[in-house]
Structure formats: structure tokens, C-alpha cells
Structure 1
């Protein structure tokens, strides 16, 4: 039955997120009779997690936006990320039906707002429930998780689209959607700064209600705790610091608040950096519940929360897959993203390919880093014909065989790698960035040197500390959905073709809005930079 259960849950996630509704989620029809017990509230909160996981199981919503857009990886000969993502501005030459990933789908925010709607409902209903319906501190815990998840999805919206509708009201009646004259009630875009302020309000609510986690607890890493909320506070405040400086507003308080949250997380959260000398470091970091797991999305066939990698997901985009029949020509080497040779020095500048010495992360996180290929592998390629020289990322190469697979399926694997939202290394380096911007260079360098030491590198001795911090974020967090936003936040793009100065000045780092959204809501206008640059 495991195969059937997992397909039932994940097929809608991968192919129709707008239809995904977890069986435990609240049905709006029963609002008047549903919210009676702690168990009801728990199911409502789990519904938010389910919707958010459904959103992020699709790598379009994190990896494609945060990594494929950097230019560090290229698509394979027969598959991988759309090359329009790193050939910026080329939205005119899109081919193929929308259901197969036409880029207009990247501009559709409706799936994000389905998560928002569930969070709004849960917050309202749980707030209204009497405290005596809950044991211990569980009302605060569940509310804290709901506020955290609403803040998180709005933070995603903020970084992707910037100015977007902000809705915090629970929709429980048609009168909230339709005017007396039967015309729909439409909501326009809210300024990015205002969205950020609302996100911070939710984050602070979460911080006030949550407690730190414990690694011995089964919820470690996969349910939000105080450390998760402080990590989100650090990220949101650093983004707001960028926005305030962009708009010539007072920004210091955001930087101060980021440092406060990140210092508290570091001192009190119970997290620690994972040792990279261990032979099982990939399984430790991405298999779930490590000492770095601040918040991640659980992917486990044992828990019936997985998907078949031959159907889609991050493994399908980034990993060679060993065929069960031993035929290596079926390993998908030509259908995944790879790192061209010309990009490698930008990712690990202190690794010497000739001597295979230096930064240990090159071979820790990637296979075949020594490859000279700049072109995608193919049996018919004039230059790249050895499938063993495809440089692919190993972070998510954790799989288990579907025990009920058909006899003629050669890559029938379930995914077993969690999706990292906040990893301790990310927040460690974000604190280093905040210290640098607050003129606390000694503290910043100390954190950077911890990261360098783990990577088998000597202490920092350069003259551009911010560049070093951003380099370490690239070297550590590649493939985790963060790097593009680091580049935007600091206006630092190692590959200049992905962001020219004119586009950046016009806030073209934000995504366009899809035609379906524009047509359905006349109060929504296209992101200014993208006017006339899309085919919709």
C-alpha cells in the first residue's frame, strides 16, 4: 500500500498543487462545528504544513528561483532547468505547453496564497478557542507555528514578487469575496516594505509563543520552534535592511533586530555545525533532523511523505540515478543540471582542480568536479561524451527503492532527502554578514573562519570581507534556494549576464506576474520592468 499512499499524496503536489488538499485539512463547510478541541487545532496547523510542503516539493518554487537563476548551473542536453532562467530577459522564445513548465507559470502566485488562506483560517479559529481546550502551552505552540508559516510564505512572496496582495483575513463567507452588485472584490498590490512589516509582525508573534526545540524530540527540524522563528526574523530583517537602504529610509533598526535574533538563535537554539570530515555527511545534513536542521520539510517514504523521483522533484533535476538493471545509459546523465567548467572557480575558488586539493566542499557536494566539460553531456556531442564527467550535485541523492515497483521500471526510487528551508550554516553566515554591515568586523571574521576551517581552508586574510562572506554562502548553500536572493540583497552578481544594472535599478530582480493573474484581477498591474518583455 505504501506506493499507492505516497502517489495519492504527491501526484497532486507535483502536477496540480492548486488542487492539493491533505485529507486531514480543515473543510470550510464545517467551520461552525470543527474547531472544538486541541486535536482540531492540531489538524488545522498540520494542514498549513501539508500545503507548504506541497508547494515546495516542486523545485520551481525554491531551487529554480534561488539557484538556476544564478548562472552557476546549466541544463543538460535532454533536460534540466529552463535555460531562460539564466539567460535573463529571454522570455520571448518559450516553447512547449504550459503544463510542461512554460515560464509564465513561474509568475502565478495563486499556490502561495492557498497556503496563506489556510494559515489565516487557522490563526483566526485557534485564537477564538478557549484556553481550557488545550493542555499545557499547546495553544501558544500551535498559534506560534501558524504565525511562523504565514510569515514564511509571505516572505517567499516578498522575495519573489516584491509588491503583492497582502491578505490576513480569514475567508469564511461569500460576502468577503463578492460585492452587493455581484462583482468580485479585488485587492491590489501592497508595497514590498509594507509586506515586510506585516511579515515581521507575524514573526514576532511566533517568537513570543514558541519555545526552543530539542534534538531528541521527533519534531526537531520539521516543526517550527523558537529557533525557526528567530532564523526567519534574521532573514526578514536583513531583507528589510536592503529595502530600506534602497528607498533611502532609516535601516539601522532592521540590522540591529537581525543581529539580536541571530545571536539568540546561536546562543540558545541548540544548533551546531556538522563535521564535514564524516563519510556520511550528506546523509546527516539532508537525511533529516541534523544539528543544523533549523527548519526543513520532511521527505520520507517511511512516513508516507515522499514522491517517486522519476516523476519530478529536486532529485529529478539535479542527480544521476543508478538504474536497477545496471545499464548506465539509463542514469539520466543528459537530463540533469550540471556545473560547467567556467563556473567552477566562482563556486570554489580555493579548490585546485589540477592537484585536487583545497576546499573539500567541491567533492563533498558534487560528483566529477574535475570535469573539463563546458557543454552538456550527450552521446552525440562533439566534445562532451563521457557520462562519468557530468558534474552534478549530490546533496539530494538520497533514495530508496520502491518495493512495489514494476519489473520493467529501472529508476523506481522514492526521494529520502529533506528540503532545507533554514540550515544553521545559512544563519551562521547571515550573522557574519550582519556583523560586517554593523561594523563589527572581528565578530564577522570569527564566524567566517569557523566555516573556512570546516572546509579545510586557512583563516581569512583578504581585504574584502563582504565578498568573502558572500563567497562562503555560495560555496555552502548552492542548491538550497538562497543564493540568488543573497545576490539581490547585496547587488553582487558573479555572472553579470543574469542581472544588468538597468534591470536591477528598475527592480527587475522581482518576477513578472502571470497573465492569468492579470486577467482575473484588474487591480493588479505587471511588475514595471517586465512590461513588454513577456509573451503574455
Structure 2
């Protein structure tokens, strides 16, 4: 009886994942036998186990070293991070993704965890169609297959934003003898495949959550449409972005969504499973999924985190909110600034992001063993509303864009955009409103790159988006040397070729 093995073809020849701790619990249900065998893939329970393994592997990839926020927020200067407060991560604010001076970035440069999640999605896409329909509750076979397509598309879009051109692996490899090396595929080809997968997902997924407990944390049509919208915007196809967001914004209730207006409910959005939630990564202490290394471990201090009492020592908190960014974005009367940022009246630069402050203590009243229990909020209704506003503006409908931007501004208590601000001035305000509304939700760097406003917040990326410029492509991460071993097809990220 062989223990199960998934070949991760993108790694070195002969590398494979054996008994992944991230998915053992849901895949080894009956025996140690290979789950690709006929014995495993027999019924709905087997399919669900494999699917939950896919979500688990994605969670493992995004939570590892807080990658979701490290990639999406740190380079946009969301946080004050220094040599002394967070030795490895501080260099990312200077665009030093190579880590050549300070080191300790090899793990963040490595895409292996995402390819484990992709391998699981490939396996699901191959195996679910062959499981007898009669073993499923009505509609669930399509539901599960739609989730698998969504997960594959999500992983590929995410790594494309981080590394640019990436290997495109679509086959489920079940035997080490079938493993092969891959080179990097052009980003536009990878994204086209993502869109194809999402077309399949939209056709298969339910329009709203099947169970209230699944809200946000399992994919629905809204999740797939939101991801399509982001991909189209990244590709500068704003006509399609406008198209796929139209019904989601006009009729959110048909997808089980609401635009939250109650301030208490709004504050709770960052906990997870709100009625604005479209897709989230489940991190719930009560379901044994709380993390000892969540973003709260980087941002909180007493009284929100009992284990850290820095006093007025700025270096005692790894990631404080950067004052320059806060002042550029928020007025003092902005509800979002009031509820998400704690401003110490004495130590005025001790700006704490308290957005992710749902903390449990495993040791009870001792309060020395914290677990962080906020979901990673990836897409919510406000995100899609503002993405649609961006598409409308790019397609020549500034009044329509203004109406949507004013929705989130008025909810935050800062009123409409000044009617005298038009054209590029209005577009900058639109981009800044996304920065405010989605503050520290992993969107900042990607939004600023996509809209060409990154140098407003981090001048180190000047020229990164201009073909022919010496800094062109600096926004993409390098890959570590280990991924080149025994693979002559692998190439370094162009900007970093010769620099690492």
C-alpha cells in the first residue's frame, strides 16, 4: 500500500509532495493508499475531502509568513517597518525583493506552496467528473467542480501578480515517473486560462452560499465574477470588467450580499463572514484554524494584544501604520480611520492597525499564548463596487464612477467627492478611495500598480511599469536558486536576472 504522493511538476525533476501536513486530515480518510486510486474517489464525501484539502493548501500558502499582506500591502508603504522592528520584511519597502543585503527572503521568493494548491485543484478537476452522479446530493457535483476551477484560477492569478510569467501546469500528475520540468509561460496566456476556468466556475457554482456557515469561505458565482473582474482590470480590459461587475453591483441581494451601512456591522467585516463577504480565507479559532502567526501578531499591542507592551518604543511593534500614508489617505473624521487605526495621544507615531484584533488565548486568563482569528478578506462587495467605478471611468462614464465612489465615501462619513475635481484628479481620488476602503486588505500594491499610481506611495518603483526603463519589471519578485536545480527550462524573473 503506497502512501499518497502528489507530483508538483513545477519543482525540480523528481520533487514531489508526500503526506502534506496541510491536507493529510482531509485526504487520508480510510487508509494510506494513494488518493488518486479508484478506492478513494468514489463518492461525494471523497470529493469534499479533496476539495477541503484544496482550500487548506491555499490557506497555507497565503498565511505562510503573512504572504498575503507582505506581497499586497508592504511595498505600498501601508506600514512603518524598520530594520529593528522586522529585520527581513523592512527591505521590501525599498523594493529589495532579492534580499541581497539582509537575506531571509528565500521562502517568500518561492512559489512552491501555491503549486501544491494548484496540483490539488488539477487533481480535483480530473477526478470529480468521473465520480458517479448518484453519490452526490443534487447539484453538488457541479458545485464542487466549480470550486476546483475557481481555486486553480485564484492561485494562478495571485502568483502571476507576484512573479509575472509563471509555469502553467494543468495536468494532474499521479506518478513520479510522469513528472516533467516546465518553463515560465507568458502572463497573458496564464491569465487567459484563468478566465477560461472562471467561465466554467460561473456556470457550475451556486449563485449564493449553500449554507450560511459557508458564507465567504467557499466559492460562489459572486466569487468567480469578482475574480474575473480583477483579472480583466489587470489586463486593462475594462469593457469586460464593467460587464462582469454589472449585475453583482446592481443586484447584490441575488448573490446573498448586502452593502453594509450599520457602523457596528461594518466594523465586524474584518472578522469575516459578513454579508459583504465574497471570498475569504477561513481563519477561525473556534474551528481549530486560529493562527499563532497572523497579521495581528505583526500589528497589535496592549490592550489589544496582552503579550506586547511596547510603551513608546516604535521598534517594539513590527508593523505600525505609516503616518505619511495615513495622512495622505484619511481625514480625521473618516470612520475607517477611527475604527481601524488606534492613535496613541502621547506617543503619536504609535499608530496601531487594530483592524485584525480578534484574538483568543489558548491559556485562558494567563493570556500568554494568543491565537489570531480574523479571516483574510480577499474580495467583498465594496471592492467590486469600486472596481466597477474604475471600469466605468476608464470606459468614459465618469458620472457613473462618481456615484459608486460616493457610496463608500458617504458610508465612511466623508461626503461626496468635490464636484470640481474631474478627469485625472477624479481618477486619483477614485484610486485613493480604494486605498482607504480596502486599507490593509492586501490590495494596495496591486491597485497602485494597475492604475499607475504606485509612485504616489513608493517612489522606489518609478519606471517599474515603463518598458525600456532600467527599473522595468521591478515590481515582480525573483525566484530562489533552488527552483533552477535540474531544470534547464527555468529562467529568472527578467528584472532580477544578473542581480541575484
TM-score by length of 1: 0.81
Q: RMSD over aligned Cα, in angstroms?
A: 2.6
Q: 1:29 aligns with which of 27, 34, 42?
A: 34
CA distance in 1, matches of 2:294, 2:124: 28
Q: Does the 8 Å CA contact 1:237/1:257 hold for their aligned counterparts? A: yes
Please state whether the residue corresponding to 2:377 is helix, strand or coil: strand
Q: 1:507 aligns with which of 464, 469, 473?
A: 473
**What does residue 342 of structure 1 align with?**
324
**In the comparison of the two structures, how many residue pairs are matched?**
465
Please state whether the residue corresponding to 1:296 is helix, strand or coil: strand
Q: 1:365 aligns with which of 314, 317, 340?
A: 340
Please state whether the residue corresponding to 1:165 is helix, strand or coil: coil
Alignment of 1:206-355 (within 5 A): 206-214=201-209, 217-241=212-236, 254-266=237-249, 267=251, 268-275=254-261, 277-278=263-264, 281-282=266-267, 284-308=268-292, 312-322=293-303, 328-329=309-310, 334-348=316-330, 351=331
CA distance in 1, matches of 2:313, 2:168: 42
Please state whether the residue corresponding to 2:360 is helix, strand or coil: strand
Q: Does the 8 Å CA contact 2:217/2:282 hold for their aligned counterparts? A: yes
CA distance in 1, matches of 2:89, 2:228: 32
Q: Does the 8 Å CA contact 2:312/2:350 hold for their aligned counterparts? A: no
Q: For residue 465 of structure 1, report the CA deviation from its aligned partner.
A: 2.2
Q: 1:192 aligns with which of 184, 187, 209?
A: 187
Find out whether 1:85 has 2:69 as its counterpart.
no
Unaligned runs of 5+ in 1: 1-16, 97-101, 178-184, 242-253, 352-356, 372-385
Q: Does the 8 Å CA contact 1:60/1:106 hold for their aligned counterparts? A: no
Q: Does the 8 Å CA contact 2:51/2:144 hold for their aligned counterparts? A: yes
**What does residue 70 of structure 2 align with?**
64
Q: 1:389 to 1:485 in 2, by over 3 A?
A: closer
1:10-33 alpha-carbon deviations (Å, 9 max, x no partner): xxxxxxx97533411267714221
CA distance in 1, matches of 2:82, 2:170: 42
Q: 1:128 aligns with which of 108, 130, 135?
A: 130
Unaligned runs of 5+ in 2: 1-18
1:237-293 alpha-carbon deviations (Å, 9 max, x no partner): 11122xxxxxxxxxxxx3232222212222132322223633x643x2022211111
Q: 1:369 to 1:485 in 2, by over 3 A?
A: farther
Find out whether 1:109 has 2:114 as its counterpart.
no
Q: 1:313 to 1:502 in 2, by over 3 A?
A: closer
TM-score by length of 2: 0.86
Q: 1:129 to 1:82 in 2, by over 3 A?
A: same
**What does residue 249 of structure 1 align with?**
none
Q: For residue 495 of structure 1, report the CA deviation from its aligned partner.
A: 2.5
**What does residue 484 of structure 2 align with?**
518
**What does residue 488 of structure 1 align with?**
449
Which shifted more, 258-267 or 43-52? 258-267
Q: Does the 8 Å CA contact 1:234/1:258 hold for their aligned counterparts? A: yes
